[in-house]
């Protein structure tokens, strides 16, 4: 593995607070959380499309069947429950 490099980040305090709580629950570090997220970014040269949250969820739905969801209606049901738990509506 390549040697790690220190980097200063300026983040909103509430974002750091939520991330630290998440890290406690997930038994990880803030550095590992940030690194894991950054690894999910598209590679150089990849085409990136900006989508609305609804379009992004519909796009994700096509992959739901790979995650053990048997039908689109089951995916929608799970997605609605997830959004309700988060406090989001659509």
Structural domain boundaries in the chain: 12-44, 53-86
17-73 tens-digit pLDDT: 999 998 898 899 999 989 888 888 777 777 666 667 767 766 666 666 556 666 667
- This prediction's pTM: 0.47
Tokens of 31: 């550095």
Q: Which class for 69: exposed (0-12), middle (13-18), buried (19 or more C-beta within 10 A)?
A: middle
Helices (H) and strands (E) in the chain, counts: 4, 0
CA dihedral 39, 43, 49, 53 (to 10 degrees): -10
């Amino acid at each position: 593995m390549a040697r790690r490099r220190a980097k200063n980040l300026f983040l909103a305090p509430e974002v750091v607070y939520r991330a630290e709580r998440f890290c406690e629950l997930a038994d990880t570090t803030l550095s590992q959380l940030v690194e894991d997220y950054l690894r999910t970014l598209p590679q150089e040269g990849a085409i990136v499309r900006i989508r609305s949250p609804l379009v992004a969820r519909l796009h994700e739905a096509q992959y739901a069947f790979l995650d053990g969801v048997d039908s689109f209606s089951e995916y929608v049901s799970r997605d609605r429950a997830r959004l309700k738990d988060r406090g989001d509506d659509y």
